[in-house]
Structure 1
Amino acid sequence: MQYVDLPDIFFTPEEAATIQQSVITVYEGLTGRTLQPADPVRLFLSSLATIIVQQQVLINQTAKGNLLRYAKGILLDYKAEDFGLARLSASSAITTLQFTLSIPLSSATGIPPGTRVGAQGGDGSIYFATTEYMEIPAGATTGTVTAACSATGTAGNGFLPGQINVLMDQLPFVQAVTNLTASSGGAAAEADEAFKERIRTAPDSYSTAGPQGAYEFWAKSTSAAILDVHAYSPAAGKVTIIPLLVGGEIPGQDVLDAVAETLEERGIRPLTDQVTVTAPSPVSYNTVLTYYISRSRAAEVTAIQAAVTAAVAAYQLWQRSKLGRHINPSELIARVMAAGALRVVPTAPVYTALTATQVAQQGTTTITYGGLVDD
């Protein structure tokens, strides 16, 4: 949802010169005196005007905080309360662990909740703990269970299958444990802009008839790690949900299962809807460009080179941070030139239109500095 194009709003004037002149004019009108620039009374009134300006600014900030567009921090939390919403707290990365017994047993083997498993080569400061009780049936040797990282945020993301395999709480007959899926889903607490977007779309959630907006709202409400969602119906009675994680990360199966579980609530999914949650299709592109710097800015070459590298990284993040965002080399050129380049010659990417089920993912990056040139 986009902002309506409205001008900035001021509830009270806060232009310093105008307020100062108003104070002096009122004084001169009441006393019948004309105050010269060096008059002590004029200087005293100017100091009072400064305080009034500060109060006007505070009044404006406070009044703007009552509007969703300007609200932030704790004021935004209170604004959300009107809609029955709360900011999503920081989430932990999750993964699926497989426990393996040394031999089949004649009775079921329980894996208690909170069983800790660390990463290979780690120091134990970050580990994953099982989130529920799990049993390996009699005669079987393996069982799987979901585990969450001990640290909230992104610290637990990115462990590949097989890297979480150090059992920290020894259990009888458990020979090995390993993660079957890459860990993902960890994120910081919901940021103001993402929270505002959920508040704006909250009215969509009031319907239980399965509109697109309601499915997207509830999917985003699963975790602060979910950045974007697209819901559509490929056929009558069928709904497909495609989430995208913060940073443009493709969600793993554990996150997809968590979204599906959220949408299974009877007050969210119509009984006749068959809901499928799937990851977006990645569309890879390479970044290859040569840039030149004006000879008049030769003293800034090192700083501009660093700024260009940062601009390319920012472009790649922008490119992958929304479902269906077309791969647009014009945006890359604009960002690199804003970083200080005089001329930019991109070889890749080429403009590529994406659908709402796709997301751009950068491949190789080649940045070449072409040297100084005349303006």
Structure 2
Amino acid sequence: MTAGLCGHSHPVIQDTIISTVRQRGLNLGATTAIESEFAQEICRRFSSIERLRFCNSGTEANLYAISVARQATGLSKIIVFSGGYHGGILKFLHGVSANNVDKENWIIGKYNDVEGTRNLIYENKGKAAAVLVEGMQGAGGCIPGSPEFLHTIQTTAKENGLIFILDEVMTSRLGQGGLQSKVLSPIDRMALRPDVTTLGKYIAGGMTIGAFGGRTDLLSVYDPRPSSILGNCEKPIQTISHSGTFNNNTLAMSVGLATLSTVYTAQVCTDLNAMGDKFRQSLIEISRGTRMTVTGVGAVCNIHFVSQKPSGEIRCVEGLEDMQTEADVILKDLFWFHAIERGFWIARRSMLALVMGTTELELEGFLEFVKEFMQEFKFMLKL
């Protein structure tokens, strides 16, 4: 999926893996200089992250971010959104997942519903610890959050004492400073600045990785040092433990530093996502007048088949599902099988994530495949 951003065998990443194994070892079980350098590189790129900690996956990152909010506020409920996916046990594609054993602690809102979300936050002041949201719902169909929606969450959460957690596990590859740097407020044109950001997948070049970070005062809940060393006579929040043998393993730290500093540079990020925007627009042009529609941002997009074209942008998973019939589900599977047959690997839900090294010629080949598919199944694709 989006973890394979750098491709499967980037030479810099190969060399880093080999040199790390030979010179440092796979896992030292202790803090290392390379960990600090990697953390500094992340903080440089993501301006909202002042302090951070490493873990082993995006799922872990979101779980720890939630624990930060709960510890800081003393509250347990979390506001999330239908269609959201925050890891293997934090999925809200169709309401509360069966894996969420504490169902009473999840408050589910409607994605991109500005007024509904504002009211939901007001109603849960003093009850909810945080709002957890993706800037673009990935597993939910690559549905982007509108700037008004995301900035409403940020502003209203702050006004009511809730922590704003932005899940950038998937979307942080979409901009030099993550998707948050590209979502500008409709009023003052300022970028998002979440209290806590979660990262994962690509940031270590395909190694197993996760990270969570944000405001210094919030991250202090995981600072094991006594207040006397920190210069505080009174630490504002009682600290909690962050255990994990592989949290800062040498291999992920070394490859992560190489990935962000040398491989997926700011210019590479800009160029790849510009290519993705152009590619998505070409798919939209091809699909005009048919059941096919496309959503996404930059180099990550999702093809959908719907019985009726939306009058505007698809804004939530409920709206998408309302437009789909059994025939659309069949079309999606047909599309996936035909893509595989032609040598194009995409997710079965028709999500596409462009990787570094993708060429214009390869994208043109995929567009030709789409045209051929639409010609072969035009009797099913007709609106």
TM-score range, shorter chain: under 0.3
Higher strand share: 1
Higher helix share: 2
TM-score by length of 2: 0.23
Greater relative contact order (CA < 8 Å, ≥ 6 in sequence): 2
Larger radius of gyration: 1
